[in-house]
């Protein structure tokens, strides 16, 4: 009996985790960081990295004591390790259970094998990276994320999870912005880039 329980428990760990398990776990991570006297915000690390690189000498926005942020860089290091552990030891190669309509639409946009990996080879394989279009997409995408999160003062963790959990109006406005931007990209810009 015990053995069967153990087996099925391990089996469920290896399967993708359902949203009703993952969502509350993310909230607990946020809560634990607040209990530790910190806050859950991943995009601030980008600002910290700029400060470590010496940007504070030229730009006031980066002139702060980045050593106070070492705890958050440690969270980042942990996240990389967590990604490695989950991918290497806690996953069976399961396809992502995407909506068949999504898979079809992606196929018309030139994305084959949708859901067979975490990231599309059409954007993230080295072949794609070494094409002008592929490289431009990753650089523009990353640039907009870095610029936009700092402008908005937070990203998914800082605004959508922490800000909404603490019922802050600015975070609700920011999250509405996130979705407007995402909808514009997927529905209006994607057909132009990949059509």
Q: How far is the CB of 3 from other proteins (least distance, A)?
A: 24
d(CA 141, CA 132): 14
- Angle of the 44-52 helix axis to the 70-89 helix axis, nearest 10: 120
Nearest to 162 by CA among 62, 32, 21, 15: 32
Site for other proteins in 81-140 (CB under 8 A): 81-87, 90-91, 96, 98-99, 101-102, 105-106, 114-115, 118-120, 123-126, 128-129, 135, 137-140
Site for other proteins in 14-33 (CB under 8 A): 16-33
For position 35 contacting other proteins by CB under 8 A, the verdict is: yes
Q: Are 42 and 76 in contact (CB under 8 A)?
A: yes
Q: What Cα–Cα distance (Å) separates residue 158 from each residue in 18, 45, 155?
A: 23, 12, 5
Site for other proteins in 156-185 (CB under 8 A): 156-157, 159-168, 170-171, 173-185
Site for other proteins in 142-161 (CB under 8 A): 142-157, 159-161
For position 55 contacting other proteins by CB under 8 A, the verdict is: yes
When the beta carbons of 7 and 131 are compared against other proteins, the nearer one is 131
């Amino acid at each position: 009996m015990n053995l069967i329980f153990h087996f099925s428990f391990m089996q469920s760990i290896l399967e993708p985790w359902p949203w009703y398990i993952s969502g509350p776990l993310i909230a607990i991570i946020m809560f634990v960081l607040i209990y530790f006297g910190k806050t859950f915000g991943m995009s601030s690390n980008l600002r910290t990295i700029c400060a470590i690189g010496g940007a504070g000498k030229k730009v006031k926005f980066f002139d702060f004591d980045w050593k106070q942020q070492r705890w958050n860089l440690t969270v980042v290091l942990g996240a990389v390790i967590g990604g490695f552990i989950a991918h290497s030891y806690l996953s069976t190669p399961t396809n992502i259970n995407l909506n068949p309509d999504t898979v079809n639409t992606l196929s018309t946009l030139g994305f084959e094998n949708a859901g067979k990996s975490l990231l599309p080879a059409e954007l993230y394989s080295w072949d794609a990276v070494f094409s002008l279009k592929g490289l431009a997409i990753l650089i523009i995408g990353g640039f907009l994320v870095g610029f936009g999160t700092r402008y908005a003062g937070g990203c998914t963790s800082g605004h959508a999870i922490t800000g909404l959990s603490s019922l802050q109006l600015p975070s609700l406005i920011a999250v509405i912005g996130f979705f407007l931007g995402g909808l514009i990209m997927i529905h209006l810009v994607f057909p132009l880039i990949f059509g």
